[in-house]
Amino acid sequence: MQGSYNHPLFGTVVYEFEGTEENYDRGAEITIISGFDSRAIKKVLIPQLVGIKGSDGIKDGWFGLHERGHAQLEMVFSELERLDLMKHVDEAGGTINRRLRKPFNALGQKVKSTLPSNHAFGIAVDINPDAPNQGETTAPLAHVFLALGFNWGATFNDPMHFEVAKFIDDPQPPTLNELERCKQLASKQFQDFVDRRRGKRKSSSLSASVGIVAADSEFENEDQDLSLEDEHDHDAQP
């Protein structure tokens, strides 16, 4: 079937995928019919990622990314290095993937969407895709991405995922104030992510009429199950 999406950066994009509105695969492959030129996706070398594990086609620090996002991604990683935060980067993946989104609900369960993933436009990267809870170990890095025009997927239950919210053609190193402001924003976004997950669990346990204490330990088990389930799902992100 055909879909149409008004992309915040590119305008109306028309795409096609196999299936019907009622019956299609989560993350189905898409073909872009109009509104986006894939030739804008070009390789960029991120020196800080040489020697760090890459997946989904990322090798020796080479990323496929929309050319208008190159400068700001380069600056993200030079800032991460300057701030001694590269120790929190274990793996990088998921740049180009022509498919539908693969969203998660607040419980970390897989849900479906007919909207195209930003990985299809080469404007999204996934950091630490194998870490628990959809990559929550990215939390110490998020403010740097925010300061350089990226959105953080923690706001939609996918903390491994960072995507370009606005192109910055001539990025400048963020000021101390800007970094501090983004740190507070990231910390709030992360807290909301954790609360959503916890809140949902508590309410489902209450409806099952079990005590809070028993419920909490039950949720811990659920956490483990979820992380196990996601462990091998390298590209499990919108």
Q: Nearest-CB residue to Zn ion?
A: 237
Asked if residue 60 lies in contact with residue 43, where contact means CB atoms within 8 angstroms, the answer is no
Q: Which residues in the 79-98 window bind Zn ion by CB under 5 A?
A: 94
CB of 157 to Zn ion, least distance (A): 12
In the complex with Zn ion, the residue whose CB is nearer, 162 or 219, is 162
Q: Mapped to the 3 state alphabet, what secondary structure does the chain carry?
A: CEEEEEECCCEEEEEEECCCCCCCCCCCEEEEEECCCHHHEEEEECHHHCCCEECCCCECCEEEEEHHHHHHHHHHHHHHHHCCCHHHCCEEECCCCCEECCCECCCCCECCCCCECHHHHCCEEEECCCCHHHHHHHHHHHHHHHHCCEEEHHHHCCCCEEEECCCCCCCCCCCHHHHHHHHHHHHHHHHHHHHHHHHHHHHHHHHCCCCHHHHHHHHHHHHHHHHHHHCCCCCCCC
CB of 62 to Zn ion, least distance (A): 18
| 69 lines the binding site for Zn ion (CB under 5 A) | no
How many chain residues are in contact with Zn ion, going by CB under 5 A? 5
CB of 162 to Zn ion, least distance (A): 8
| 161 lines the binding site for Zn ion (CB under 5 A) | yes
In the complex with Zn ion, the residue whose CB is nearer, 99 or 197, is 99
Residue type, 179: L
In the complex with Zn ion, the residue whose CB is nearer, 99 or 161, is 161
Q: Which residues in the 107-136 window bind Zn ion by CB under 5 A?
A: 124, 126
CB of 212 to Zn ion, least distance (A): 34
| 99 lines the binding site for Zn ion (CB under 5 A) | no
CB of 107 to Zn ion, least distance (A): 19
CB of 173 to Zn ion, least distance (A): 25
Stretch that binds Zn ion, among 15-23, 42-50, 154-162, 174-182 (CB under 5 A): 154-162
Residues that bind Zn ion (CB under 5 A): 94, 124, 126, 161, 237
